[in-house]
Amino acid sequence: MRYRSLGSTGTQVSALCLGAMTFGEADEKSMMHKVSSNEEESFAILDRALEAGINFVDTADVYGQDGLSERVFGKWLASRSARDRVVVASKGRFRMAAGPNGTGASRMRILRAIDASLTRLGTDRIDLYQIHMQDLRTPEEELMRALDDATRAGKIVYFGASNYAAYRLMESLWVADKRNLNRFVTLQAQYSLATRALEREHVPLCKKFGLGILPWSPLAGGLLSGKYRRNQAPPEGSRLAQWKTRYESFNTDRNWTIVEALASVAHDLGKTPSQVALAWLLARPVVSSVIFGARTLAQLEDNLGASELELSADAITRLDAASAPDLGYPYDMMKNVDGGW
């Protein structure tokens, strides 16, 4: 397993981060119903990940329901005495309680959310606490001061953003600089061969200001796993067979071209499509760690194969060409001008 700096901090995290969204057997109220792992399976996946060198696990208060993922993860940490061997990441912002203040990123809401996550995780600090999405109702200075206070109190070590617009992320960095506050060190965002919109503004911003990118959904909900083919129905029991609306959103000529190019590169390298898709992300600028999920030990083992895979320049060029995004204005105008982009 290779290790990298978490953004511009000195903390080292594994190049692969285990996403805990599937931990805990969710009931029919959760979007993870029938696509999650029970506690025993979750523990086995965590045990193997730790053995393989993964020291970075990402969860959130809304994963499962009523904090299920955090509770399962916290129980595992305690049962394995693993707290000091794992960089624990969690997130808060989405609704966890009824009423007008049961959601959002206000100071009151976020400080409550941090305390609740600490209780569920059974720990005295969260190593990376992330705001799950920007909240336009809350001034960024209010949020930055709340997170700075939580850092100074020792409840969180670092904090990061997730699902932020570039302008809002830049505003947060500006506020922190002007008010001499701790600031975001990472950006967790959707990023994959199928979803490259992040490269327009977020990647240059993170590169300039030293934020580490933590891609989520690196296999595009399983589309890039090798299980799906053009003009064929999703395999029975697969995630995209259940999430029909999401599958239809992926069912485009561009995405099938990516899937086919990925399969070709994987065949040439003797690797699986999942491994190649993850390795492509690990070769992108300012990526600190790639977050992947695993419902089974078999899925975990497959993904672990990406940790030491370094793609050749030719393989990257082939994948870049197949997945090239439509940049749109003004980026398509700027890209061919020296100093334009």
Of residues 338 and 80, the one with the higher pLDDT is 80
Rounded to an integer, the average pLDDT of 95-124 is 97
Q: Supply the Cα-derived Rg of the chain in whole angstroms.
A: 20
Using pLDDT thresholds of 50, 70 and 90, give the confidence band for residue 193: very high
Per residue in 8-63, pLDDT (tens digit) is 999 999 999 999 999 998 666 655 556 689 999 999 999 999 999 999 999 999 99
Distance, in Å, from the CA atom of 33 to the CA atom of 201, rounded to the nearest integer, reads 35
Domain boundaries, position 34:
3-220+281-310
Which helix (H) or strand (E) segment is 290 a member of?
Answer: strand 290-293
- Is position 227 within any domain? no
- Is position 263 within any domain? no
pLDDT at 31: 56
| Mean of per-residue pLDDT scores for the chain | 93
Instruction: Please tell me the total count of domains within the chain.
Output: 1
Helices (H) and strands (E) in the chain, counts: 13, 10
Q: Which residues of 132-149 are buried (b: 16+ CB within 10 A; e: fewer)?
A: bbbbeebebbbbbbbbbe
Phi-psi region of 63 (alpha: psi -120 to 50; beta: other; left: phi over 0): beta
CATH number, domain of 186, equals: 3.20.20.100
pLDDT at 321: 97
Residue 103 Cα to chain centre, angstroms = 21
Instruction: Name, in order, each residue with C-beta under 8 angstroms of 114's C-beta and a sequence gap of 6 or more.
Output: 92, 126, 129, 150, 155, 156
- Is position 274 within any domain? no
- Is position 98 within any domain? yes
63 is catalytic: yes
Per residue in 215-239, pLDDT (tens digit) is 999 999 889 998 888 877 776 656 6
What would the DSSP string read from start to end of 17-84?
EEE-TTBS---TTSTTTTSSB-HHHHHHHHHHHHHTT--EEE--TTSSSTTHHHHHHHHHHHHTT-GG
DSSP state of 120: H
- Is position 233 within any domain? no
- Is position 265 within any domain? no
Using pLDDT thresholds of 50, 70 and 90, give the confidence band for residue 178: very high
Instruction: Write 168-171 long-range contacts (CB < 8 A, 24+).
Output: 168/134, 168/136, 168/140, 169/202, 169/205, 169/211, 170/205, 171/140
Confidence check: pLDDT of 266 > 60: yes
- Is position 110 within any domain? yes
pTM summary value: 0.94
- 3, 63, 191, 329: the catalytic one is 63
Which residue, chain included where needed, has tokens 């029975």? 236
Which residue, chain included where needed, has tokens 């209010």? 142
Token couple for 319: 């994948």
Per residue in 323-336, pLDDT (tens digit) is 999 989 999 899 88
Confidence check: pLDDT of 248 > 80: no
- Is position 275 within any domain? no
Distance, in Å, from the CA atom of 196 to the CA atom of 203, rounded to the nearest integer, reads 10
Per residue in 128-158, pLDDT (tens digit) is 999 999 999 999 999 999 999 999 999 999 9
Give the neighbor-by-neighbor strand order of the sheet with 212-216.
Answer: 212-216, 186-190, 156-162, 126-131, 87-92, 56-58, 16-19, 290-293
